[in-house]
Amino acid sequence: MAEPLAIRAAGLVTGVGLDWESSCAAIRAGLNHFTETRFIARGGDWIVASEVTLAEPWRGATKLAKMAAQAIGDCLARAAGIEPKETALLLCLAEETRPGRLAELGSPLFFEIERELGISFHPASRVLADGRVGGAVATFQARRMIAKGEVGQAIVAGVDSLLVGATLTAFDDADRLLTQENSNGFIPGEAAAAVLVGKPRAGDASTLALRGLGFAREAATIASEEPLRADGLVSAIGGALGEAGLDLGDLDYRAADVNGEHYGFKETSLALARLLRVRKPEFDLWHPADCIGEVGAAVVPVMLATTLAAMRDDYAPGRRALLHAGNDDGRRAALIVEGAPLAQAAAA
């Protein structure tokens, strides 16, 4: 079994809330803020999206920096006694191949976030351009860094926005946006999320334990004509379950990056059918995109933050959850988390 990692605090900035608690409350209630944008789809209708409304109408990389700094600051404010210089920031961004990706991302965005916050993070901090699976990749790297003693704790953060003209045009041309003419599509969104992770410590309260991580690659991508069997997702989930020493039937609910496209729901259903060996009358599937739209590289930190809130406030269907995400290029990632007290998690 892999050594558990404690998820202690979170921060969120979404289209339905500008901090962790308000965002989670809105998502729990099923609220959304889907509104018409200034972008027009091919059919002539305004594109509907979930936009974050900040104090001023910032755009582009400046807005991403403001959102990320606010989410990270929200997370730090909920974690007393954390020294930023001893904390690695692992910043997850859109993959470099995504159409319309802003040119100012990477190190310039990282340093702008530090300037916004007025702090400096540990030199081991890094930027990951891995798209939707980035949060899982960052969590894996954070776990390894903490286990080696390189840092005492880390912040896994993700920030992304699909509300960029070139990005929307590319997805619209590929018939992937939800419009009046296309029901098999997603609502674009933007968000920033951050979670603080570290070693389990007895006595900590309101924490979540990461029990397992798994990664794989799917050959039958959304753009592929190959028959989908969900081999990649099955392998990723199997790897995470193996690390946790659990079976899928031991888990209580799921959260995923499915965003309204039929492909994602089909893949999730196929993986469930292939892995579940016991009858479960209920096995909820949560998908934050229902409320905040498709948020790209922010989705895994968003799922970790909302799961932490559900465990802390005792409205989750149980103590163990599966989280999974996938990129358009076929990369898949799965995480197993448990809301057990840290003392129990450390002894598992």
- Per-domain boundaries in the chain: 7-198, 208-347
Q: Is it the case that residue 333 has pLDDT exceeding 80? A: yes
Axis-axis angle for helices 60-77, 107-117 (nearest 10): 50
**What pLDDT shows up at residue 343?**
39
**What pLDDT shows up at residue 313?**
92
Q: Is it the case that residue 348 has pLDDT exceeding 60? A: no
Distances (CA, A) of 229 to 128, 219, 267, 284: 29, 9, 7, 21
**What pLDDT shows up at residue 342?**
39
**What pLDDT shows up at residue 246?**
96
Residues 6+ apart with CB under 8 A from 314: none
**What pLDDT shows up at residue 52?**
98
Instruction: Using the CB atoms, write b or e for 211-247: b if 16+ within 10 Å.
Output: bbbbbbebebbbeeeeebebbbbbbbbbbbbebbebe
pLDDT band with cut points at 50, 70 and 90 for residue 203: low
Least confident of 103-112, 116-125, 302-311, 335-344: 335-344
Cα 43 off chain centre by:
31
The tens digit of pLDDT for each residue in 282-313 reads: 999 999 999 999 999 999 999 999 999 999 99
The tens digit of pLDDT for each residue in 140-170 reads: 999 999 999 999 999 999 999 999 999 999 9
Task: Locate 126 and state its tokens.
Answer: 């890094």
- The end-to-end CA distance of the chain, in Å, is 9
Percent of the chain with pLDDT over 70: 96
**Mean pLDDT score, 60-88:** 95
Axis-axis angle for helices 262-275, 231-244 (nearest 10): 50
Q: Is it the case that residue 128 has pLDDT exceeding 70? A: yes
**What pLDDT shows up at residue 104?**
80
Least confident of 65-69, 148-152, 187-191, 234-238: 148-152
Is the CA virtual torsion 165, 171, 176, 180 positive or negative? positive
Neighbours of 205 (CB within 10 A): 8
**What pLDDT shows up at residue 1?**
63
Q: Is it the case that residue 346 has pLDDT exceeding 60? A: no
**What pLDDT shows up at residue 302?**
98
**What pLDDT shows up at residue 235?**
98
Written in H, E and C, the secondary structure of the chain is: CCCCEEEEEEEEEECCECCHHHHHHHHHCCCCCEEEEEEECCCCCEEEEECCCCCCCCCHHHHHHHHHHHHHHHHHHCCCCCCHHHEEEEEECCCCCCCCCCCCCCHHHHHHHHHHHCCCCCCCCEEECCHHHHHHHHHHHHHHHHHCCCCCEEEEEEEEECCCHHHHHHHHHCCCECECCECCCECEEEEEEEEEEECCCCCCCCCEEEEEEEEEECCCCCCCCCCCCCHHHHHHHHHHHHHHCCCHHHCCEEEECCCCCHHHHHHHHHHHHHHCCCCCCCCCEECCHHHHCECHHHHHHHHHHHHHHHHHCCCCCCCEEEEEEECCCCEEEEEEEECCCHHHHHHC
Average pLDDT value over all residues in the chain: 94
Q: Which CATH superfamily is domain 208-347 in?
A: Thiolase/Chalcone synthase (3.40.47.10)
Percent of the chain with pLDDT over 90: 90
**What pLDDT shows up at residue 345?**
39
Distances (CA, A) of 279 to 245, 275, 276, 282: 19, 11, 8, 9
**Level-2 CATH architecture, domain 7-198:** 3-Layer(aba) Sandwich (3.40)
